Amino acid sequence: MNIGVFGSGMVGQALSARLAGLGHAVMVGTRDVGRLLARTEPDGYGNPSFADWHAEHPDIQVGTFAEAAAHGALLVNATNGGASLEALGLAGAVNLSGKVLVDIANPLDFSQGMPPSLFVANTDSLAEQIQRAFPDVKVVKTLNTLTAALMVEPERLAGGDHTVFLSGNDAGAKSEVAALLRSFGWRDILDLGDITSARGTEMLLPLWLRAWGALGTGLFNVRVVR
């Protein structure tokens, strides 16, 4: 399947590599392709540059947000939450129209330092903001409660015996995304309901960040025991 992945950071890279490895034709969408590929220094966390990563994944195309949106039959929002609405605006409503958008972004606000708070929460969510801005896009929130490595390879932890959540208004879109998640190795996929239930998974982030601090690793997840 042709898939457009918005965002060139660690989450976008993890998703793109996994999807390409599964045989999908992936295009990463970014604001400025030339600038992205010209940057060769590691990021602030010591991760290799996108250019270095891309040299190891030559099968993955790189384009503007609009080009990636036009390319994809299915789209993934892996941009920073604070930039998501702008990135999707650059992608263009006409290129997004009618498509499934897997929204992985979290509305993290780092402006007051660590740990971040959320710039939208409680009575609204980033997923709902996106759904309202692009009413004919089928937004499905998922994978936003995990570190990137586990999103695409759940078996790396406890043989995959943990939970991923799903929120969205369109049942068909959720089925399609659930099938994609199963192809990553996910077995416990909990459908929470419509897109307003994304408030719940986005609001898990503050707990996730504290648990990360307490455990000293991001390689953990919750399992919903029932």
Contact footprint for a copy of itself (CB under 8 A): 112, 117-118, 121-123, 157-158, 161-162, 165, 190-193, 197, 199-201, 203-204, 206-211, 213-215, 217, 219-226
Rounded Cα distance, 184 and 15, in Å: 10
> Token pair of 83, please?
């930039």
In whole angstroms, the minimum distance from the beta carbon of 178 to a copy of itself comes to 14
Report residue 220 as tokens. Answer: 């953990």
The residue to which tokens 């199963």 are assigned: 182
Q: How far is the CB of 157 from a copy of itself (least distance, A)?
A: 6
Q: How far is the CB of 26 from a copy of itself (least distance, A)?
A: 29
Closest to a copy of itself by CB, 94 or 122: 122
Nearer to a copy of itself, 42 or 110 (CB): 110
Burial (Cβ within 10 Å: 0-12, 13-18, ≥19) of residue 2: middle
Element (H, E) at 109: strand 108-109
CB of 171 to a copy of itself, least distance (A): 14
Q: State in angstroms the smallest separation of the CB of 98 from a copy of itself.
A: 27
124: left (phi over 0), alpha (psi -120 to 50) or beta: beta
> Nearer Cβ to a copy of itself, position 53 or 165?
165
208: its two tokens: 């996730």
Are the C-beta atoms of residues 199 and 124 closer than 8 Å to each other? yes
**Residue with smaller CB distance to a copy of itself, 132 or 156:** 156
Say if residues 69 and 92 touch (Cβ distance below 8 Å): yes
Nearer to a copy of itself, 33 or 204 (CB): 204
